[in-house]
Amino acid sequence: MSAAIVAFACLLTAHPAAQSGDWPHWRGLNHDGLSSGPGWSAQGETKWTVEVGLGYSSPSIAGGRLFVHGFERERGVDIVRCLQTQNGLELWRHELAARIFDQDHEGGTLTTPTIDGQRLYVSEREGRLVCYDAGTGRVLWHKELAPLYDVDPGRYGFSGSPLVAGELLIVHADRVFAFQKATGDLVWRTEPLQAVYSTPLPFTLGATPCVASFGQQALELVELASGARRATFPWQKDPRVVCAAAPVVVGQRLFISSAYEHGCALLDFTDGAARALWANRAMRSKMAGCVLVDGFLYGFDESLLKCLDLEGQERWRVRGLGNGALSAGDGKLALLSEDGELLVAAATPDAFHELARTPLFEGGSCWTPPVIAQSFVYCRNSRGTLVCRDHRASELTPTVEAAHTTVQSAPTVIQSAPTAVELPAAAELCARHLERIGGDAAVRRHAALRLRGTFEMRSQGYPPVPLTIDWQAPDRRRLTHEDAPPRRVTHERVFDGELYFEFDPYSARIPEAAAQGEARDSSELFAAADFARLYPELCTTALAAFDQRSCYRVEAVTRRGTARTLWFDAATGLLAGREGAHESLVVFDDYREFDGLRLATRERRFAPDTGIEERLCIERVEFVPVEPALFARPEAVQRLLRTSER
């Protein structure tokens, strides 16, 4: 027993040392999102699961220990935990009083612990910085940056993780700070740079060690030794700016990317000045950022998984994974989808090649990149479930691959014309769909409908909110949904028979021509009975896989002369979806009967530009008159029209 006690005491006081294959801080050993050390298999099995508290923090791993940061809502505390990687058992924990800061996204921790030999560094969303003894959890020093230095954590809170650089600890908290890592003494600080969401990155400019700081207005290079500014690249293109994704080192250059209307750029620092070799909107990283594998960038452009070359050209894209996160290594991508699935895919620029898929989570946001350490893969969701997966190739048991849900731009063809089996004519497929939903009379029976249900945009962190769709024949449609709590802002999308517009209490927008045409067609209440008028040209081209279903693909030309693809479920005859150039990909499912009319009660829409997925769920249908005033143009839209006329 004495020997066991001594051994356990040694375990508690031993200090983890990062080695090849470990993942000791945000983005891994080399700050690039890539695993090092042993290879890992696409197939794996779950080894253990633990609950670690609310938040988006990644785990950090070194020397057989895992450190993770989470928030316990009931007691109002942040908890730093040290776990054994072998079994997930807790070795120590430390609690500090905290509060919900970001009401929009369920709150919780945002930063990743940083392991540096005997010490563990943890920063916090309101500006607290703590140094722990990594073996015991004893606090060695701590600082409250907000009252000390008058820094503002902004709307979402500081989310940059600490960076150890030699004897310095670098932290983003509006300013860039450098502290003595052993004592916490301040060495230097910059002027305010709005560095609140991204993590500082080591970068060498010529022969000078620097820190790359991605703030809300610019990418800044500051000298590691003094904090002096060496180069600046302005990056404020739109008021909706969220620069959170870590820059990617590409030799002597840096790749940056941020969401909304910003996009990405490859920066060169020849002669010490920052300039863009190219800039475009092909990659708009919202949080986790990209990885560079063999000269190609892989990442999430809003909700589109993409591969770019180093000229900024898109090589491929995949829809349906939502606003996910990824890491890479050993020639493979480890992807965590918005729906909580772990996917493994080949890191290759020729096409997206999925190798394995495993559902891990139900509920919560899955925005935290997987961690790959010593052939194990660690994933968490925002609600605090942490899963350890064993991906050692030699010790795996067979697993059953889950059904695919990814919607790719070019579905796999099962059978293409010409074939030995004649494909049904497009007109026959349209007639079959009309029959299945109740026939011409059922479609035309009601001149107005009111649909009620829920609207969901998981990639934006919004849970299902109330939805109403008012429809009036022949082609007027109004979709209303609330914003997520606590704001409760109402958003409207209206096609009034002539114009499609969107508005809320703060702004209004009139989308461009492609969206106008799509909205007109989507607003046709009697569309199923008028296919011949809506689509003067139709041709069945293949039997193909679409949204996990065997469907007939019909190539169509709309009444406006634009191309569109329709998908009809081969088993049921019902319309399964549609897509077109510069249009949304729409998936229809779960048809149910209401007063003799069958309607799709589940609709998934993928925006053409961003891939952002919206989910509409219809729970109730009311056959009631709809007031024409519901489709009236608000003053904000009329002002836009008057401005455009001038």
Q: Let me know: does 605 contact 614? Beta carbons within 8 Å.
A: yes
Q: Looking at residues 108-133, what average pLDDT do you find? A: 96
Q: Phi/psi at 458 (nearest 5 deg)?
A: -65, -30
409 in the Ramachandran plot: left (φ > 0), alpha (ψ -120 to 50) or beta?
Answer: alpha
Neighbouring residues of 512: CB distance < 8 A, sequence distance ≥ 6: none
The rounded percent of the chain whose pLDDT value lies above 90 is 78
Residue-wise pLDDT tens digits, 542-561: 999 898 899 999 999 999 99
pLDDT given at position 394: 59
Task: For residue 214, give Cα distances in angstroms to 211, 225, 237.
Answer: 10, 19, 14
Mean per-residue pLDDT, 332-338: 96
CA dist., res. 337 & res. 613, Å (int) = 12
Residue 251: C-alpha distances to residues 30, 281, 285 (Å): 13, 22, 21
Distance CA 156, CA 244 (A): 11
Question: In this predicted structure, what is the pLDDT of residue 519?
Answer: 94
Structure confidence at residue 485 as a pLDDT band (50, 70, 90): low
C-alpha span between 604 and 470 (Å, rounded): 18
Q: Of 6-15, 18-27, 100-109, 351-360, which gets the smallest average pLDDT?
A: 6-15
Residue 7, pLDDT score: 37
* Residue 183: exposure state from Cβ atoms within 10 A (0-12, 13-18, ≥19): exposed
Burial group, residue 534, by CB count within 10 angstroms (0-12, 13-18, 19+):
buried
Most confident of 202-206, 460-464, 487-491: 202-206
> For residue 299, what are the contacts with CB-CB under 8 A and spacing of at least 6?
245, 257, 283, 285, 288, 289, 290, 291, 305, 306, 308, 326
> Is the per-residue pLDDT at 239 higher than 60?
yes
Q: Pick from 79-83, 103-107, 148-152 the range whose average pLDDT is largest.
A: 79-83
* Cβ proximity of 244 and 199 under 8 Å: no
Rg (CA), the chain: 27
What are the beta bridge partners of residue 204? 209
Q: What does the pLDDT read at residue 412?
A: 39
State pLDDT tens for residues 339-357. Answer: 899 999 999 999 999 999 9
Q: What's the whole-number mean pLDDT along residues 150-163?
A: 90
Q: What are the chain's domains? A: 413-645 (2.50.20.10)
Average pLDDT over residues 119-137: 96
| Nearest CA among 212, 429, 28, 312 for reference residue 220 | 212
Alpha-carbon span 371 to 328, nearest angstrom: 9
Tell me the pLDDT tens digit for each residue of 311-326.
Answer: 999 999 998 898 899 9
3-state secondary structure of 270: helix
Q: Residue 524: pLDDT above 80?
A: yes
What mean pLDDT value characterizes the chain?
Answer: 90
Three-class DSSP category at 640: helix
102-111, 195-204, 258-267, 438-447, range with the lowest pLDDT: 102-111
- Residue pLDDT, tens place only, 23-72: 999 999 999 999 988 999 999 999 999 999 999 999 999 999 999 999 99
489 by Cβ neighbours in 10 Å (0-12 / 13-18 / 19+) ranks as exposed
Residues near 419 by beta carbon (within 8 Å), at least 6 away in sequence: none
Share of the chain above pLDDT 70, in %: 91
In terms of residues, how long is the chain?
646
Question: What is the pLDDT confidence band of residue 154, given thresholds at 50, 70 and 90?
Answer: confident
Residue 461 pLDDT: 64
Give the separation between CA 89 and CA 84, rounded to whole angstroms.
5
List the one residue out of 357, 253, 331, 335 whose CA is nearest residue 290. Answer: 335
- What pLDDT, on the 0 to 100 scale, is given for residue 287? 83
| Residue 507 clears pLDDT 80, i.e. is over it | yes
Output the six-digit token pair for 339.
């729906």
Cα 132 from Cα 422, distance rounded (Å): 71
Q: What is the DSSP string of 26-49?
A: TTTTTTSSB--SS---S--EEEEE
Residues 102, 155 contacting (CB under 8 angstroms) = yes
Query: What is the per-residue pLDDT for 466?
Result: 93
Average of pLDDT values for 472-482?
A: 94
**Does residue 230 carry a pLDDT above 60?**
yes
Interval 399-453: pLDDT, tens = 333 333 444 443 433 444 444 468 999 999 999 999 999 999 999 999 999 999 9
If residue 556 lies in a helix (H) or strand (E), which one and from where to where?
strand 549-557
**pLDDT for res 103:** 60
Position 470 scores a pLDDT of: 97
The Cα–Cα gap between 30 and 16 comes to 17
Band of residue 646 on the pLDDT scale cut at 50, 70, 90:
low
Give the three-state DSSP class for 2: helix
pLDDT in tens, 367-389: 999 999 999 999 999 999 999 99
Phi and psi at residue 281, in whole multiples of 5°? -110, 25
Distances (CA, A) of 338 to 294, 302, 320, 377: 26, 11, 9, 17
d(CA 644, CA 138): 64
pLDDT at position 581 is 83
102: confidence class by pLDDT, cuts 50, 70, 90: low
Structure-block tokens of residue 136: 């015991």
pTM: 0.84
Higher pLDDT, residue 574 or 13: 574
In the prediction, which pLDDT does 17 show? 62
- Decide if 196 contacts 160 (C-beta within 8 A): yes
Say how far apart CA 76 and CA 95 lie, in whole Å: 10
**Predicted confidence (pLDDT) at residue 493 exceeds the cutoff of 70:** yes
pLDDT score of 221 more than 70: yes
Q: Give pLDDT, residue 609.
A: 85
